[in-house]
Amino acid sequence: MPLVAVAIIALYQYSLERGGTTPPGDRPYTGAVEEAYAERRSGIWVEVNGSIRRRLPDDNTGSRHQRFILQTESGHTVLVAHNLDLADKVPLETGDTVRVRGRYEWNERGGVIHWTHHDPDGNLSGGWVEFRDRRYR
């Protein structure tokens, strides 16, 4: 079997082990949000469970965003900016538990998770907010 074919098969098997057909730059970071914060990492995909610590007013300037502070299971807090022009609003209340997939951006206040929606261009798998067995994307 030619070496190229072996490499393609190996890459395909690695892709299946890492979550299917997700493009390499779109895979969730294997570390926690806390680790990304400590390392000052930005532009990485994360998935995190947490509870709504505080709901913030929607940001209606430019692209509209639902905003809330998510407290992870370890106690770390991060701002989530969920694009309302691309996804439905999530009916959240303080104390609700959610799971979020999105792109993490570092800042001194704990970071921001955005891109919690589908990719309108279809290039990335995008993100979501999962609440009460429904994915808002």
**74 CB-near residues (< 8 Å, 6+ apart):** 32, 34
C-alpha of 27 from chain center: 10
Beta bridge partners of 131: 134
For 47-63, what is the mean pLDDT?
Answer: 96
CA gyration radius, the chain: 17
Confidence of residue 31 (pLDDT cuts 50, 70, 90): low
Domain ranges of the chain: 28-136
pTM, whole model, 2 decimals?
A: 0.79
Residue 116: CA atoms inside 13 Å, Cβ hemisphere, count? 31
Dihedral (CA of 72, 74, 75, 77) sign: negative
Specify the higher pLDDT residue, 10 or 132. 132
Confidence of residue 14 (pLDDT cuts 50, 70, 90): very low
Q: What is the pLDDT of residue 29?
A: 58
Q: What is the pLDDT of residue 58?
A: 97
Q: What is the pLDDT of residue 25?
A: 58
Q: Which CATH number does 28-136 carry?
A: 2.40.50.200
119 close to 107: Cβ distance less than 8 angstroms: no
**Distance between CA 137 and CA 130 in Å, rounded?**
9
Which residue type occupies 43? G
Q: Is the predicted pLDDT of residue 11 greater than 70, yes or no?
A: no
Ranking 12-26, 30-44, 122-136 by mean pLDDT, the lowest is 12-26
Confidence of residue 32 (pLDDT cuts 50, 70, 90): confident
Specify the higher pLDDT residue, 88 or 11. 88
Which one, of 123, 122, 105, 121, lies nearest residue 113 by Cα? 105
